[in-house]
Structure 1
Amino acid sequence: MTISSYVRDGLTFDVIDSGPADGDPVVLLHGFPERATCWREVSPILHEAGFRTLAPDQRGYSPGARPRTRLGYGARDLVADVVALIDEIGRPVHLAGHDWGSAVGWGVAAERPDLVRSWTAMSVPHPVPFARSMKGPQRRRSAYMAFFNVPFVPELVAGRNGRMERMMRGSGWKDADVERFREEIVDYGALPGGLGWYRALFLAPRVGRVSVPTTMLWSDRDVAIGRSALEGNEDSVTGPYELIELTGVSHWIPTKAPEAAASAILGTIAKAS
Structure 2
Amino acid sequence: MPAILIHGVPDTHRLWAGVRRHLARTDVEAWDLPGFGAPRPDGFGSTKEEYADWLIGRLEEVGEPVDLVGHDWGCILTARVASLRPDLVRTWAGGNGPISARYVWHPLAKIWQDPVEGDRFMAELTPDGFAADLIDGFEVPADVAEDMVRYVDTPMKDSILKLYRSAVRMGGEWEPGLARMTAPGLVFWGARDPACQVEFADELARAIRAEHVVKLDCNHWPVLQRPAEVAAALEAHWRHHPPPRNLKPDWDQMR
- Which TM-score tier does this pair reach, normalised by the shorter chain? 0.7 to 0.9
**Structure 2 residue 126 is matched with structure 1 residue 153:** no
User: Match for residue 77 of structure 1?
Assistant: 50
Partner of 2:235: 266
CA contact (8 A) 1:30 1:57 kept: yes
Aligned to 1:17: none
Q: Amino acid of the residue matched to residue 164 of structure 2? A: Y
Counterparts in 2 of 1:156 and 1:217: CA distance versus 1, 3 Å: same
Q: Secondary structure at the match of 1:184?
A: coil
Q: Alpha carbons of 1:63 and 1:147: their partners in 2 closer, same or farther (altered >3 Å)? A: same
Return closer, same or farther for 1:67/1:265 CA change in 2, 3 Å cut-off. farther
SS in 2 for 1:59: coil
What count of residue pairs does the alignment treat as equivalent? 233
Q: CA shift at 1:89, angstroms?
A: 1.7
Is residue 119–residue 268 contact of structure 1 (8 Å, CA) maintained in 2? no
Provide the residue aligned with 1:42 in structure 2.
19
Aligned equivalent of 1:4: none
Please give the secondary structure, in 1, of the residue aligned with 2:152. helix
* Runs (5+) with no aligned partner, structure 2: 243-255
Aligned match of 1:15 = none
Q: 2:150 aligns with which of 163, 183, 188?
A: 183
1:194 aligns with 2:160: yes
State the AA in 2 paired with 1:232.
E
Greater strand percent: which structure?
1
TM-score by length of 2: 0.82
- Matched with 2:80 is 107
Relative to the length of structure 1, the TM-score reads 0.77
Structure 1 residue 44 displacement after superposition: 3.0
1:243 paired with 2:213, answer yes
Between stretches 95-104 and 176-185, larger displacement belongs to 176-185
Name the aligned partner's letter for residue 75 of structure 1.
K
After the TM superposition, list the runs of 4 or more consecutive aligned residues in structure 1 that deviate by more than 4 angstroms: 66-69
Percent identity over paired residues: 23
Partner of 2:102, secondary structure, is helix
Q: In structure 2, do the counterparts of structure 1 residues 234 and 182 end up closer, same or farther at CA, with 3 Å as the change threshold?
A: closer
Q: Is the counterpart of residue 168 in structure 1 residue 134 in structure 2?
A: yes
Q: Which has the larger radius of gyration?
A: 2
Between the aligned partners of 1:133 and 1:122, the Cα distance in structure 2 is 15
Q: What is the aligned partner in structure 1 of residue 31 from structure 2?
A: 56
Tell me the alpha carbon deviations over residues 195-224 of structure 1, each in whole angstroms, 9 at most, x when there is no partner.
321121147443332221111101222121
What displacement does 1:189 show? 4.2
More helix, by proportion: 2
Gaps of 5+ in 1: 1-23
Match of 1:121 in 2: 94
Kept in 1, the 8 Å contact 2:201–2:213? The answer is no
CA distance in 1, matches of 2:84, 2:237: 19
Pick closer, same or farther for the CA change 1:227–1:50 going to 2, 3 Å: closer
Deviations 1:125-174 (Å, cap 9, x if unpaired)?
4x1xx32243xxxx5xx122111123311212321433x34432211123
Cα distance in structure 2, aligned partners of 1:264 and 1:166: 30
